[in-house]
Amino acid sequence: MEPTFSIISTALVLTFILDPFGNVPLLLTILKDIDRKHHRRIIIREMIIGLIILVLFLFAGRSFLNIFHLETSSVSIAGGLIFLIIALRLIFPAPDGSSIFSSTGGEPFIVPIAMPMVAGPSALATLMVMANNHEGHLSGLFFAVLIAWGATAIILLLSPLFFRLLRKKGLVALEKLMGMLLLIMAVQMLLNGISEYAHTLMATFEN
C-alpha cells in the first residue's frame, strides 16, 4: 500500500535534507573573497541550476529504480537509512567542523553551491526514494521540491542577515534541532519498510 502523501510534510523533509541553515556559514565562506555586489547574482544562478538538477532527478530517478526492479520495502528501508545518516551528521558533526564541501578559487560555478550543496547525493537519493514510494503523486512531489527549494533559496539569499542574528552557535543549535526531527522521521520510515517486508514474507509463506 502506498504511504500517505502530504506536500507540506514532504517539503519539510526535503528542506531538512537541503539543510539551508547548516549551509549558511559554508556559503559565506565560499563567497568571502568575491565582491559582495555579485553575491546575490551568484546565489540565484546556482540555486536555479540546483533546482533543474533536482527536478530532472525527480522524474528520471524513478525510471532508474524500475530498471533494477526495486521493491517498495527495500526502498523505504534505504530511505530511512539515508535519513538516519544525514540526521546523525547534523546532530554529531565532525570534531574539526569540516564539511564535505570545499571552497574553490574564483567565482563558483555549479560546484560547490549548485552541486553538492543544493543538489547533493543525499537530496538526489531522497528524491529517488520519494518518487518510488509516491509514484502516483509526482506532481505533488514537484511542488514539494519547489517549496523546499524556495525556502532554501530565501535563507541562502538572506545568509548574512541570519548569520548576524543567530551567530555560529545559534545556527549550530538550529541545525541540531533539524537533525533530531529528521532522526525521528528516519526511524519511522525504517519501521514502515521493515513492517511492509515482514508482511510480504508472511504472505509468501502462506502461499
pLDDT, tens digit (0-9, with 9 covering 90-100), for 43-93: 999 999 999 989 988 888 667 667 777 665 676 677 678 768 767 877 777
The pLDDT score that the predictor gives to residue 142 is 95
The pLDDT score that the predictor gives to residue 64 is 67
Which H, E and C letters describe the chain, residue by residue?
CCCCCCHHHHHHHHHHHHCHHHHHHHHHHHCCCCCHHHHHHHHHHHHHHHHHHHHHHHHHHHHHHHHCCCCHHHHHHHHHHHHHHHHHHHHCCCCCCCCCCCCCCCCCECECHHHHHHCCHHHHHHHHHHHHHCHHHHHHHHHHHHHHHHHHHHHHHCHHHHHHHHHHHHHHHHHHHHHHHHHHHHHHHHHHHHHHHHHHHHHHHHC
Q: Report the percentage of the chain scoring pLDDT > 90.
A: 19
pLDDT at 144 over 90: yes
Does pTM surpass 0.85? no
Lowest pLDDT segment from 2-11, 36-45, 67-76, 162-171: 67-76
The pLDDT score that the predictor gives to residue 140 is 93
Instruction: Place 191 in a pLDDT band, splitting at 50, 70 and 90.
Output: confident
